[in-house]
Amino acid sequence: MSGQVSVAQAKAEFASLVTRAESGEKIIVTRNGRPVACLGPLPRPKPIKYGDLKGLYVADDLSLPEDIIEEFYRKRAK
């Protein structure tokens, strides 16, 4: 399902257009009859499955350099 609205109409009905987009509708916004933007639902996030991160390299040493740690404490003391 999709629809077209002018910029002026989109300004006047923005909240209801967002509601329509949330429910899956794609709305084309036009200016002078020419399509200029699209309002629609965001893609659903894919669930992370066990094993998706297999092969991801994580460094053995996750410590921070001393100068970074010292700067953190200096800024925190201010």
pLDDT digits over 42-67, tens only? 998 888 788 777 777 777 777 888 89
Instruction: Flag whether the pTM goes above 0.75.
Output: no
**What pLDDT shows up at residue 6?**
96
**What pLDDT shows up at residue 1?**
62
**What pLDDT shows up at residue 51?**
79
CB half-sphere exposure, 59, CA atoms < 13 A: 4
Residue 5: band (very low, low, confident or very high) from pLDDT cuts 50, 70, 90: very high
Residue 25 and residue 1 in contact, taking contact as beta carbons nearer than 8 Å: yes
Q: Which of 46, 47, 1, 48 is nearest to 22 (CA)?
A: 1
Q: Give the chain's length.
A: 78
**What pLDDT shows up at residue 16?**
96
Among residues of the chain, what percentage have pLDDT more than 70? 99
Q: Which of 6, 15, 16 is nearest to 37 (CA)?
A: 6
Residue 40 and residue 26 in contact, taking contact as beta carbons nearer than 8 Å: yes
- 2-39: what fold? YefM-like fold (3.40.1620)
